[in-house]
Structure 1
Amino acid sequence: MTSVNIGILAHVDAGKTSLTERLLHTAGVIDRIGSVDRGDTQTDSHELERRRGITIRSAVVSFTVGEVKVNLIDTPGHPDFIAEVERALGVLDGVVLVVSAVEGVQAQTRLLMRTLARLRMPVLVFVNKIDRRGARESELLAEIRAELTPATVLMSRVTGLGTPLARASARQLAQQDFAGELAELLGDHDDAFLARYLGEGPEPTAADYEDALARCVRAGEVHPVFFGSALAGTGVAELADAIARLLPQCSGSGDGALRGTVFKIERGWAGERTAYVRLHSGTLAARADVAFHRPERQGAVTGLTGRCTAVEVFERGAALVERTAVAGDIAKLRGLKGIRIGDRIGDRPGEGAGPGGPQLFAPPTLETVIRPTRPGDAPQLYEALQQLADQDPLIDVRVDRTQAEPRVSVSLYGEVQKEVIKATLAEEHQLDVVFEDTRIICVERPIGIGAAVEEIGSQSRTLFWATVGLRVEPGEPGSGTVFRRAVEPGSLPAAFHKGIEEAVRATLQQGLHGWEVLDVMVTLTRTGFASPISTAGDFRRLTPLVLMNALRQAGTQVLEPVNGFELEVPAEHVSTVLLTLAECGATVATTVLRGGSYLVEGHLPARTAREFEQQLPGLSAGEGVLLTRFHGFTPVVGAVPTRQRTDSNPLDRKEYLLRTFGRL
């Protein structure tokens, strides 16, 4: 049996989870359709999800359409949980993008479609809620073509639009208008089909139309649009059939080397980790020894091994069966200690280990300090946050142990995510916590060139048996940290070279002002050691002092994050909103009238985005809709923000040495 892995994506409240329920019901997996309002859906299994009525964590269910097994990943729609969407995209064969027939194309929908187009991901569009008052068809189709993609073909017609009797029926090739419309679109992307359609060879048959459409969809060039209602069930069978016919499939064979991607981690009742893995090739059985590799920051890769004690594969809804997993399966693995989201099973990344690559969405731009209300709960809080970081590594738990009472901070996308973390800590770990004020996360970039060296035999003689020289200079935008060697590879043992590079990358997590240093080139210019006295530890401990001396000479500039924003606001309130945007430091790029509302786009400093978002309901009579996304960094104007250091402070030689040798 072949298989296809799909995701359902949408703006919040467009009906993703309801569509998942209806697909399972249509496939005969469930007898009763769950409700988000009742909290009894298959995919929102977490108590917090049921209570809030939103999807927070990705969930997997499975069903069969004909001879094709469909693994479906339901993803969050709220922007605060966009990281969950990104992790899912790395393991999907195709996507169903849900659009509400009433609200239409919304800000989050546009962001998702732009990302999918960048990936050339096969996309089927499902217009939901055709039975709701205010539902639109031809106007909405024009909106989809204008704001999402022009390469669309309408696959269904609607009768009774906007009423409880609304029905969607599939368009047929026997209908001349549909055949002509489809042929014109396919001809734009498939030269062979176009030639036959124009009379160069046999006239295309219905099967030829079908094959050409499938090729174009799988290449991410054409996007079929289906209308329907998840609650009423109309149009869903046609969508399910299209998922099986048009999206790329995996043969399900066990051929090839083992390759897979970990996209989700859960904790069991005893704290053990369970990994969700999409297999790209090979097979994986219980009690097998497994190699897995972890892409680290700035391109490094860590190799690990473990024994998989159990392998379970999704079958019929959320049910699991114990069997050997094959290519195309979504499997739950137990027993691999220390495994994390993003790890690659089998071959090393870069050797065909499946999807991955650069981050698709922006990292969090906010951070906050979390304190337990009971001081004695600090160790339990740190452990609980580490478990949450297993599920979402981007929260980036940081601990400042230089204070009498350690301070724990996390990175965030927004206030809803903060509320979810607080509720999760209370319900799952019995921890009551308070958050300090949220602040933006800045970065530093070098602005000049600096160099420093410390040698054996000088002031470091009795402290570190190592010679290290480093040069720091600005790197290419977006390059992160580039480490180079201007010394002979054999001038040091390999372990010493490795110790220097690892210390460089770790030290640059906190620059002159405490922020991570990006787009920097570090060159190793001088080395020396005393055999057999020198150790790798000497190089690891000396490198931060040398590096920060060089960075101090180069100087750094602090940059703050800037968000791109899309704002929908009623026409009668646009003047007031634009004035407030200007007061918040925004730059407006476009203002377009669409119906009775304006679509405003531009850029807004992240530090004022929350302030504007809080004012927006009052400015727009509660009808304004704002979506922000990370756009880039811009130099800070005015007072330079600093971040409290959490390391041994290599900027202060005396303090660093005292901390390094345990005297402070």
Structure 2
Amino acid sequence: MSIHKTARIRNVGIVAHVDAGKTTTTEHMLFESGRIRSLGRVDAGTAATDWMDVERERGISVRAATTVFQWNDCTINLIDTPGHVDFSSEVERSLRVLDGAVLIVSAVEGVQAHTETLWNALRTLRIPTIVLINKMDRVGADAQRVLNEMKKYLSPDVIPIQQYDGLEEAFLGVKGLWDLDEEGENHRIADSQELYEGVLERMAEHDESLLDAYISGNKVPDSVLVERLIGLTRQAEVYPVLFGAASKGVGIQELMNAIVEYLPAPAGKSEDPLSGVVFRLERDKVMGKIAMVRLYGGRIQNRDVIRNTTLELDEKITQIRKVHAGHHDDVGMLEAGDIAGVCGLSRVRIGDILGSEDSVPPAHRLTLPLLTVQVSPVQTADYPQLVAALQELSDEDPLLDLQWHQEERELHMKIMGPIQLEVLTHVLQTRFGLQALFGQPTIIYKETPTCAGFGFVAYTMPKPCWAILKFHIEPGPRGSGLVYHSIVKPEKLLPGYQNEVARRVPEALQQGLRGWEVTDLKVTLVEGEHHVWHTHPLDFVLATPMGIMDGLSNTDTTLLEPYLHFRITAPEEANGKIMHELILMRAVFDYPVIAGERFTVEGTIPAATSLDFPVKLSTLTGGRGTFTTRFDGYRECPSGSEMTRQRRGINPLDTSKYILSMRNALGSQRS
């Protein structure tokens, strides 16, 4: 793909809190561009990008939908992402492959907790972003209030570049500060000097020449200001704000113009080495597994054999398809900068790197599943089919992290929330013809070392075996996860054996003293020894968990529980009752802020104590209260808390039983 051709592509995601109007906006963009001939409706289940049965029935997006359309001689690959926090994993995988984003904020509800989560992810990844304040025609719309919220909670660098005419029923439309004339030159069309000066003032914070002109009162030509605005937007320094009413199609063409003008084209050329990432998996009844691929460099064609660097294997492409809302067109080629569905990669998984990883941006974790649930078939005979179905769904969403315990005939999955459970139940029924029962979701706790200490193992009997390890284990800062390194010299323990230990330490920490994953710790291999004749690499597979668990028994562990940052908005008369409930739930919160007849309170709260609070809040406020949350990390449980999980397999602290069990399991692998 030439540089010129790449310049006519935009890879854009639409992100927002649930019900801000993402899918409706996408629908109108497809209609205005001629991609679809008639408008669908989310509430009627006819939106093009809500093509799954469950989406049409519930009126919400549960999967990121990829579509493509043409506008102003530009190909726009658009990803409509789910807004509900239960489906954050779909959003985080999409963010990785975007060059730009449109964040939609409701003019009525304003900035909500999940809006902030999305914004923080966009900023971490430095994704250039346009903001659309939608639903300007709805009762309760207040654009200025929402702008103030955005400057407070998101960034002071949000810059309105449009005038809006009226609010609520009186909303008539928008007028841009500039527009392109027939020669492609920008000229001013809005008559607001205040709007112009607002743009200049904010831009001057980022540009010295504009700052000098602003301070001295010199006139800045519109063409210069627009050029700098485009440049700073593409560098993710400032964020243009537009207004609209997507349900009526107002402001949609202006939004599409802004996507082409302000958001960047993808980098990379088809002459570059092959470099791409798989960010989604879809299933087709005829073609089987379809891997959605964003290509950062190189070119692939039908029948090419390409390298899956992550899995270290080669696979042959059978077809390359452009995907639009569940429909596919065979295009035969995918070039740098573009997105398409690739067929024939039977073993591929989400996150796999194709070719070189040098050009692929890192993944970003939006949130974590905080609940675990047990799954069982209604009909016992369906057990094998249920395992296979859930494994397939886990391939499509790795955060489900399916755990299949064959001996106990138990299936466990991690989930984000109750709506995800409803969707999983529906998908198992409609896609696989299976009826499943889900147990009561329980909170996922974690453990962390209480103090520093050593773990030691000398696995030298029964022969033949020899693996001696000594670990230093110490607590780490909250949120640091596992930090592992070795200070053992290669002559004491061969690099191959050290690599085996490094691979097994994370596995050994999956179950701590209380059965939960151990996190936020630093593990250092301080001593290690192998034997020239008796050691086999598998000895370290067996020895590592024994050394780690010995260390944890010496350090002891502290129980951690997940916390949420919350924001409650409710009628003022419910203030006292809500404060009382928050105290009972061990919440930590600021003083409530009262505005008009409503109040807002923010703080942090344990996930475990607040599972049922949304229902209680609805009762306390007659349905007029809102409770929005985002994950805020793990913290220590109150002293005396004892939440244990049944251990799977033999505990490595029971050394004789563990060695016997592991040697039987590993026996066939020893040479």
Give the equivalent residue in structure 2 for 1:366.
371
1:331 to 332, 335, 340: 340
Which amino acid in 1 is paired with 2:284?
G
Summarize the Cα distance change of 1:663–1:537 in structure 2 as closer, same or farther, 3 Å threshold.
closer
Which amino acid in 2 is paired with 1:575?
G
Give the equivalent residue in structure 2 for 1:573.
574
1:384 to 389, 400, 406: 389
Using the TM superposition, give the Cα deviation of residue 247 of structure 1 relative to its aligned residue in structure 2, in angstroms.
0.7
User: Is 1:125 aligned to residue 126 of structure 2?
Assistant: no
Farther-moved stretch of structure 1 (73-82 vs 29-38): 29-38
Alignment partners' CA distance in 2, 1:264 and 1:456: 43
* Preserved contact between residue 292 and residue 347 of structure 1 (Cα < 8 Å): no
Alignment partners' CA distance in 1, 2:494 and 2:318: 38
Give the equivalent residue in structure 2 for 1:299.
none
Give the equivalent residue in structure 2 for 1:297.
none
Summarize the Cα distance change of 1:234–1:50 in structure 2 as closer, same or farther, 3 Å threshold.
same
- Unpaired runs of 5+ residues, structure 2, are 179-187, 667-671
Give the equivalent residue in structure 2 for 1:188.
205
Alignment partners' CA distance in 1, 2:339 and 2:558: 45
Summarize the Cα distance change of 1:632–1:144 in structure 2 as closer, same or farther, 3 Å threshold.
closer
TM-score, normalised to structure 1's length? Answer: 0.91
Using the TM superposition, give the Cα deviation of residue 206 of structure 1 relative to its aligned residue in structure 2, in angstroms.
2.6
Using the TM superposition, give the Cα deviation of residue 470 of structure 1 relative to its aligned residue in structure 2, in angstroms.
3.1
Using the TM superposition, give the Cα deviation of residue 493 of structure 1 relative to its aligned residue in structure 2, in angstroms.
4.2
* Preserved contact between residue 515 and residue 646 of structure 2 (Cα < 8 Å): yes
Alignment partners' CA distance in 2, 1:271 and 1:419: 28
Farther-moved stretch of structure 1 (572-581 vs 498-507): 498-507
* Preserved contact between residue 66 and residue 325 of structure 2 (Cα < 8 Å): no
Which amino acid in 2 is paired with 1:408?
L
Which amino acid in 2 is paired with 1:521?
K
Alignment partners' CA distance in 2, 1:320 and 1:38: 26
Using the TM superposition, give the Cα deviation of residue 99 of structure 1 relative to its aligned residue in structure 2, in angstroms.
1.9
Give the equivalent residue in structure 1 for 2:651.
649
2:223 to 204, 207, 231: 207
1:292 to 298, 308, 313: 308
TM-score, normalised to structure 2's length? Answer: 0.90
Task: String of CA shifts for 1:110-139, please: whole Å, max 9, x gaps.
Answer: 332233334332221112222333333344
* Preserved contact between residue 464 and residue 535 of structure 2 (Cα < 8 Å): no
* Preserved contact between residue 584 and residue 612 of structure 1 (Cα < 8 Å): no
2:433 to 418, 430, 433: 430
Using the TM superposition, give the Cα deviation of residue 288 of structure 1 relative to its aligned residue in structure 2, in angstroms.
2.4
Alignment partners' CA distance in 1, 2:27 and 2:102: 14
- Unpaired runs of 5+ residues, structure 1, are 295-301
* Preserved contact between residue 400 and residue 645 of structure 1 (Cα < 8 Å): no
Using the TM superposition, give the Cα deviation of residue 325 of structure 1 relative to its aligned residue in structure 2, in angstroms.
1.3
User: Is 1:640 aligned to residue 642 of structure 2?
Assistant: yes
Task: String of CA shifts for 1:330-376, please: whole Å, max 9, x gaps.
Answer: 1111222322112222223xxx33221452x2211111111112223
SS in 2 for 1:489: coil
Alignment partners' CA distance in 1, 2:635 and 2:261: 47
SS in 2 for 1:607: coil
Summarize the Cα distance change of 1:661–1:209 in structure 2 as closer, same or farther, 3 Å threshold.
same
* Preserved contact between residue 22 and residue 233 of structure 1 (Cα < 8 Å): yes
Summarize the Cα distance change of 1:655–1:154 in structure 2 as closer, same or farther, 3 Å threshold.
same
Task: String of CA shifts for 1:571-593, please: whole Å, max 9, x gaps.
Answer: 12121111111111111124212
Which amino acid in 2 is paired with 1:130?
M
Which amino acid in 2 is paired with 1:49?
E
SS in 1 for 2:37: coil
* Preserved contact between residue 426 and residue 432 of structure 1 (Cα < 8 Å): yes
Task: String of CA shifts for 1:524-547, please: whole Å, max 9, x gaps.
Answer: 344344444432122212222232
SS in 1 for 2:543: helix
Summarize the Cα distance change of 1:357–1:130 in structure 2 as closer, same or farther, 3 Å threshold.
closer
Give the equivalent residue in structure 2 for 1:63.
69
User: Is 1:234 aligned to residue 250 of structure 2?
Assistant: yes
Which amino acid in 1 is paired with 2:22?
K
Alignment partners' CA distance in 2, 1:339 and 1:317: 20
Give the equivalent residue in structure 2 for 1:557.
558
* Preserved contact between residue 569 and residue 625 of structure 1 (Cα < 8 Å): yes
Give the equivalent residue in structure 1 for 2:601.
600
User: Is 1:448 aligned to residue 454 of structure 2?
Assistant: no
User: Is 1:89 aligned to residue 89 of structure 2?
Assistant: no
Alignment partners' CA distance in 1, 2:159 and 2:488: 60
SS in 2 for 1:249: coil
Summarize the Cα distance change of 1:251–1:121 in structure 2 as closer, same or farther, 3 Å threshold.
closer
Residue pairs, 1:78-227, within 5 angstroms: 78-163=84-169, 166-172=172-178, 173=188, 175=191, 176-196=193-213, 204-227=220-243
Which amino acid in 2 is paired with 1:572?
E
SS in 2 for 1:572: helix
SS in 1 for 2:610: helix
Which amino acid in 2 is paired with 1:224?
P
SS in 2 for 1:21: helix
Using the TM superposition, give the Cα deviation of residue 663 of structure 1 relative to its aligned residue in structure 2, in angstroms.
9.4
Summarize the Cα distance change of 1:594–1:443 in structure 2 as closer, same or farther, 3 Å threshold.
same
* Preserved contact between residue 314 and residue 330 of structure 1 (Cα < 8 Å): no
Summarize the Cα distance change of 1:47–1:456 in structure 2 as closer, same or farther, 3 Å threshold.
closer
SS in 1 for 2:559: strand
Alignment partners' CA distance in 2, 1:486 and 1:113: 40
Using the TM superposition, give the Cα deviation of residue 164 of structure 1 relative to its aligned residue in structure 2, in angstroms.
7.5
Summarize the Cα distance change of 1:381–1:164 in structure 2 as closer, same or farther, 3 Å threshold.
farther
Alignment partners' CA distance in 1, 2:291 and 2:443: 32
Give the equivalent residue in structure 2 for 1:522.
523
Alignment partners' CA distance in 2, 1:251 and 1:484: 36
Task: String of CA shifts for 1:15-71, please: whole Å, max 9, x gaps.
Answer: 110100111111121121111122222211111111111000001111122132111
Alignment partners' CA distance in 1, 2:644 and 2:464: 30
Q: Percent identity?
A: 35
Using the TM superposition, give the Cα deviation of residue 286 of structure 1 relative to its aligned residue in structure 2, in angstroms.
2.4
Using the TM superposition, give the Cα deviation of residue 257 of structure 1 relative to its aligned residue in structure 2, in angstroms.
2.0
* Preserved contact between residue 478 and residue 635 of structure 2 (Cα < 8 Å): no
Task: String of CA shifts for 1:172-226, please: whole Å, max 9, x gaps.
Answer: 435333332222222121223334566799x543321211110121222222221
Alignment partners' CA distance in 2, 1:587 and 1:57: 34
Task: String of CA shifts for 1:138-183, please: whole Å, max 9, x gaps.
Answer: 4443343344333233233333532277322323435333332222
* Preserved contact between residue 193 and residue 212 of structure 1 (Cα < 8 Å): no
Summarize the Cα distance change of 1:595–1:142 in structure 2 as closer, same or farther, 3 Å threshold.
farther
Alignment RMSD (CA, Å): 2.6
Using the TM superposition, give the Cα deviation of residue 492 of structure 1 relative to its aligned residue in structure 2, in angstroms.
4.0
Count of residue pairs the alignment pairs up: 648
SS in 1 for 2:48: coil
Which amino acid in 2 is paired with 1:654?
S
Task: String of CA shifts for 1:457-497, please: whole Å, max 9, x gaps.
Answer: 5xx23363433333333345433223322322143444332
Alignment partners' CA distance in 2, 1:373 and 1:212: 62
* Preserved contact between residue 285 and residue 311 of structure 1 (Cα < 8 Å): yes
* Preserved contact between residue 252 and residue 326 of structure 1 (Cα < 8 Å): no
Farther-moved stretch of structure 1 (589-598 vs 362-371): 589-598
User: Is 1:583 aligned to residue 600 of structure 2?
Assistant: no
Farther-moved stretch of structure 1 (635-644 vs 49-58): 635-644
Summarize the Cα distance change of 1:315–1:506 in structure 2 as closer, same or farther, 3 Å threshold.
closer
* Preserved contact between residue 161 and residue 199 of structure 2 (Cα < 8 Å): no
Give the equivalent residue in structure 2 for 1:489.
490
Residue pairs, 1:393-408, within 5 angstroms: 393-403=398-408, 406-408=409-411
Give the equivalent residue in structure 1 for 2:511.
510
Which amino acid in 2 is paired with 1:535?
H
Using the TM superposition, give the Cα deviation of residue 315 of structure 1 relative to its aligned residue in structure 2, in angstroms.
7.8
Summarize the Cα distance change of 1:539–1:177 in structure 2 as closer, same or farther, 3 Å threshold.
closer
1:255 to 267, 271, 283: 271
SS in 2 for 1:64: strand
